[in-house]
Structure 1
Amino acid sequence: MALPPVLELVAPHDARPPQEHPCATGVLPIRRISVSIVSLVLLALAAGFGGGLLGAWMRATPPAAESTPPAAVEDTQTRIRAAVDRVLPNIVLIVAETATGQSLGSGVVVSQSGNIATAAHVIRGATRIEVVLANGDRRPARLVGEDSPFSDVAVLAVAPQGLRQVAFGASAALRPGDIVLAIGADRGLYGAGGAATMGIISATDRILPRSGVNLEDLLQIDAAINSGDSGGALVNLSGEFVGMITSVIRDEGSERSAVVGVGFAQSSDSLRPVVAELIRAGRYPRPRIGIERPDEQHVEITADVANQRRLPVPNGALIVAPAPNSPAVRAGIVAGDIVLGVNGAKVDFDFPMVNLLKRLPRGSRVDLAVLRGGRTLTVSMTAEDQ
C-alpha cells in the first residue's frame, strides 16, 4: 500500500533564489517604516493576548502522567525471566510422521507420568510420533487420546524420566491488557530448546472458525507466534499455564493486509478438564454419532460448496461418509443426506453441526432435521459418549 506523501520542508532545487531588497542602502521608504511599526504594535498585542491564552491553557491542562518507576520496570523484567525459566524446560518439540510427510509442533508436559498436551492438528494422521525434549533428548511417543473435532486438544505419553510438570493457572483471571508469554519449540530450527515471545491478552472468550467447526473458549493474543508453535504454552507472569497455542492468522499476500499476527490459544479453564479426562480414560465424553468429523464424514455447506455441487440449500452439513455401525447409520443416515438442524437449532456458519452437537448433554437424544430427495424428515438417535 502506498504511503502518504511526506511533507516536503526543503525548497525544490528549481526554486528561485531570494530577491534582493529594493533598497540597496538599507534605508526603508517612509511608507514601509510606518507599516512595519504598525505591524510590530499589532504583533506585540497579539503576542500578549496569545501569551495570556497560552498561560491559561497551561494552567488548565492537567500535569502529564508520571512515567513508570524504574523499580517497577525491573520487577516486571524479573518476573518475565522467572516465568520463562520456569516453563521453558516443560516445552517439547513434536515430530509427527504422516503418510504425506512430516508435521512439526510443540507440546507441554502436564504430568509427572510423562503426559504431554498438544494441538490435535499437529499429530493428525500420524503413523509415528517422536518428542524432542528441551535438552535435545529424543523419545518415542504414543497417542493417549484426542478431542477433535470438538476441540483442538490431544495428549501424548512418553517415558517420564527427567520431565518437569507445568503448573496450570486460571484463564478466567485474565483481562485484556494482561502481559502473557507464548513459549513454543520453535520447530527446532535453531538448536535444542524452545523460544519465548511476549505480548498481551487482546480479548477473551473468542471464537475461531475452521472448516466445519468453530473453536470456542479462545484467548486472543498479540504475541508473535511462529510455525511450529501450535501446542505450545501461553503463560502468565507467574509462570502458570493459562492457554495452549492453537492458531495464528496472517494475511501476508496482500499489500492491503489488515491482519498482522493475530494469535489464539485454548483457554486453560476449558483445556484442563479435557486433558485430565484424556489422561484418565483416553477420551473425553462427547455426543459422537458417526458424522461429526468435518471433511471426512461430512462437508460444511457454504455458498461456494452449494454452487459447485448444485445443492438446493446454502447452509447445512452434507453427509459424505458416515462411520459404519455408528448411531447415525443405525438410524438410517446415508451419504447424500443434508443435515439442516440439530434438536431444533439451525445448522449454519455461526453454528456448525459439530458445535450444536457439542452443546448436548451426555447420553441425550439427537433429533436431526435431514433434507433427502427434496423432503425434510426427522432422524432420531442416541449419541455415544465416547
Structure 2
Amino acid sequence: MSTPTDPGQGPFAPPYQVPSHPPQVSAPAQEAAPSPDGGTHPGSTPPVPGPAGQVHQTGREPRRILLAVAVPLMVVCLLAGLLLGVLGSPLLTTDRSAELPPTQVSPGPGGSAGADLDEDSVAAIAADVLPSTVYIEVAAGQQSGSGSGFVLREDGYIVTNQHVIAAARGNGGQITVVLADGSEVEAEVVGASMDYDLAVLKVDADGLRPLVLGDSDGLVVGEPVVAIGAPLGLEGTVTSGIVSALNRPVSIPDQAGSTFINAIQTDAAINPGNSGGPLVNAAGEVIGVNSAIASLATAGQAGSVGLGFAIPSSQVRRTSEQLIETGQATYPVIGALLDGSYTGEGVQVVTADDATDTPAITPGGPAEAAGLQPGDVIVAIDGDPVTNPDELIVRIRAHSPGDVVTLTVRDGDEDTDVPVTLGESESR
C-alpha cells in the first residue's frame, strides 16, 4: 500500500490492494458528519496517525501518518515554499535576481534552435502550454512558499491548489503571481475548497492566454501526459510521462479535516512546487491539476519516484466554476457514518450502538431515503468494488450533488443494488 504525499499531503490507499492499509479515519470513521446546512461531510473525525511517513504543509508542524505496505511511502507536500529562509537553498530562493541564467542553445547536427517542432512532440506541447503556466509566491508573516498554477480565463482567473495559498488565505498574507513573461502581479483569492484542494485566484493583467480544460473522463491508462510547473522554485520546468492509473483514492489529512481526490496517477516527474500546475495531454489540454506525490524517503522533504497524483479536469471544471460564480464550492454526500475499524470485505456503516453524538444514518438524508440501515456493508459503488472508507468517499466526491449512484449492499450472502441520490454540503 502506498502513501501519497501531497504536494499537498496525506495518506492514500490504492484500490483493491491486499493487504489493505489501515483506514485513515479513527473509529468510527466518517463519510460524513452533520454540517450546518443539514448535509454531511467526510473526514470530520481526525485520521489516526499511521506508519512511516510525515505530512508536511506550509506553516504547519509535520504530522505522522502510518501505512502498511510492501514499501513504506511518505506523504510529502509539493509546496516548494517549505520555510525557504530556514532551508536556505538557492534553488528555493524567492530573490528573482538569484535565478539560474537561461540555457544557451546552439544549432545541432541536422537542425537549428528555431526549427519547426513536431506538433505531437513534448517540445511542441511545452511551447504551447508554458506561456499560460504561472509561478505563485505566498508570504504570510514568517511563512513563505511557492507553487504553480495556470490561466483559466483571459479575464484574469487562475487555478491552483488550495494548499498552495492556504497560508495566506484569511491571514492577510500576500499572493504574487509571476507570469510567463516575468511580470509580477498581486492576486486575490476568489474562492478555495479544502475538500477538493482547489483554489481560484484573480489577477489584473492583459494578454493572458487561457488553457483548455480537456476531458479527464476520456483518459486511458498509458496515454502520454506532460506536467508543467515550478518544482523547487525552478519555473517553467517540463516533465513527461504517461497516465499510470485512474481513480486512485488519495486522502490528504489536515487539522481542519481531509481532502479527498479521485486522482489520476502519473509517472511524469512531479516535485514540491509543482502543486497547482497543469497536467496536459498530447493536445495541450489540461486533464489534471498536479496535487500529490509519493516518496520512498523516511524523513524530511522528498522528490519524485514516479508516483504523482493529479485532480481530474472534470472536477476542476465543476469546482472552479462554482468558486468563480459564488466564491463557494459544494460536494456530494450520502449522509452515512462509516466504520473505520471494520476489517471485513467492503465498507460498513456504523452500527446504532457505535454511533455516538452523530447518528449512523443522517435523518432526512440521502442514505435514509434510499433505505440504508446502521450496520449495512457497502461492497461496491456503480459496480466497482470498494475496500475502505476513503475509497468510497473519494468515489462519491467524484460526482456532483443530485447525481444518482448505485451502492451494492451485502446482507449475508445476498447483494442488493440500492440507488442513492446524492445530497449536497458546502465545502470548507
Instruction: Give the TM-score taking structure 2 as reference length.
Output: 0.51
Mapping of residues 330-341 of structure 1, within 5 Å: 337=357
How far apart, CA to CA, are the structure 2 residues paired with 1:346 and 1:139? 52
Say whether residues 1:144 and 2:190 are aligned partners. Answer: yes
Say whether residues 1:94 and 2:136 are aligned partners. Answer: yes
Say whether residues 1:188 and 2:188 are aligned partners. Answer: no
Contact in 2 for aligned 1:250/1:260 (Cα 8 Å): yes
How far apart, CA to CA, are the structure 2 residues paired with 1:230 and 1:340? 36
What corresponds to 1:274 in structure 2? 319
What corresponds to 1:85 in structure 2? 127
Equivalent of 1:130 in 176, 182, 190: 176
What corresponds to 2:26 in structure 1? none
Mark the runs of 5 or more structure 2 residues left unpaired by the alignment: 1-115, 342-348, 351-355, 379-387, 403-422
Call closer, same or farther: CA 1:117–1:346 in 2, change over 3 Å. farther
Contact in 2 for aligned 1:93/1:187 (Cα 8 Å): no
Q: CA-atom RMSD, angstroms?
A: 4.0
Contact in 2 for aligned 1:144/1:279 (Cα 8 Å): yes
Say whether residues 1:157 and 2:199 are aligned partners. Answer: no
How far apart, CA to CA, are the structure 2 residues paired with 1:346 and 1:338? 18
What corresponds to 1:202 in structure 2? 244
How far apart, CA to CA, are the structure 2 residues paired with 1:207 and 1:165? 29
Give aligned pairs, total. 255
Q: Secondary structure at the match of 2:324?
A: helix
What corresponds to 1:350 in structure 2? 390
Call closer, same or farther: CA 1:358–1:201 in 2, change over 3 Å. closer
Question: Quick one: which amino acid aligns to residue 138 of structure 1?
Answer: E
Equivalent of 1:220 in 241, 265, 281: 265
Mark the runs of 5 or more structure 1 residues left unpaired by the alignment: 1-73, 289-299, 304-314, 317-335, 363-381
How far apart, CA to CA, are the structure 1 residues paired with 2:214 and 2:289? 12
Call closer, same or farther: CA 1:354–1:174 in 2, change over 3 Å. closer
Q: Secondary structure at the match of 2:279?
A: strand
How far apart, CA to CA, are the structure 1 residues paired with 2:159 and 2:268? 21
How far apart, CA to CA, are the structure 1 residues paired with 2:261 and 2:223? 20
Q: Secondary structure at the match of 1:86?
A: helix
- Select the structure of larger CA radius of gyration: 1
Call closer, same or farther: CA 1:216–1:383 in 2, change over 3 Å. closer
Question: Quick one: which amino acid aligns to residue 282 of structure 2?
Answer: L
How far apart, CA to CA, are the structure 2 residues paired with 1:163 and 1:96? 21
Mapping of residues 212-361 of structure 1, within 5 Å: 213=258, 215-253=260-298, 260-286=305-331, 337=357, 342=362, 343=367, 344=372, 349-350=389-390, 361=401
Call closer, same or farther: CA 1:226–1:216 in 2, change over 3 Å. closer
Q: Secondary structure at the match of 2:125?
A: helix
Greater RCO structure (CA 8 Å; 6+ sep):
2
Q: Secondary structure at the match of 1:350?
A: helix
Question: Quick one: which amino acid aligns to residue 208 of structure 1?
Answer: V
Call closer, same or farther: CA 1:139–1:203 in 2, change over 3 Å. same
Contact in 1 for aligned 2:147/2:233 (Cα 8 Å): no
How far apart, CA to CA, are the structure 1 residues paired with 2:314 and 2:326? 19
What corresponds to 1:12 in structure 2? none
How far apart, CA to CA, are the structure 2 residues paired with 1:302 and 1:180? 35
Contact in 2 for aligned 1:207/1:214 (Cα 8 Å): no
- Choose between structure 1 and 2: higher helix proportion: 1
Instruction: Give the TM-score taking structure 1 as reference length.
Output: 0.56
Question: Quick one: which amino acid aligns to residue 261 of structure 1?
Answer: G
How far apart, CA to CA, are the structure 2 residues paired with 1:75 and 1:138? 30
Q: Give the deviation of 1:217 after TM superposition.
A: 2.8
Q: Give the deviation of 1:301 after TM superposition.
A: 9.4
Identity of matched residues, %: 34
Question: Quick one: which amino acid aligns to residue 163 of structure 1?
Answer: L
Contact in 1 for aligned 2:260/2:390 (Cα 8 Å): no
Deviations 1:26-50 (A, max 9, x none): xxxxxxxxxxxxxxxxxxxxxxxxx
Question: Quick one: which amino acid aligns to residue 110 of structure 1?
Answer: L
Contact in 2 for aligned 1:180/1:234 (Cα 8 Å): yes
Equivalent of 1:177 in 222, 231, 254: 222
How far apart, CA to CA, are the structure 1 residues paired with 2:146 and 2:308? 18
How far apart, CA to CA, are the structure 1 residues paired with 2:248 and 2:331? 21
Contact in 2 for aligned 1:184/1:230 (Cα 8 Å): yes
Question: Quick one: which amino acid aligns to residue 296 of structure 2?
Answer: D
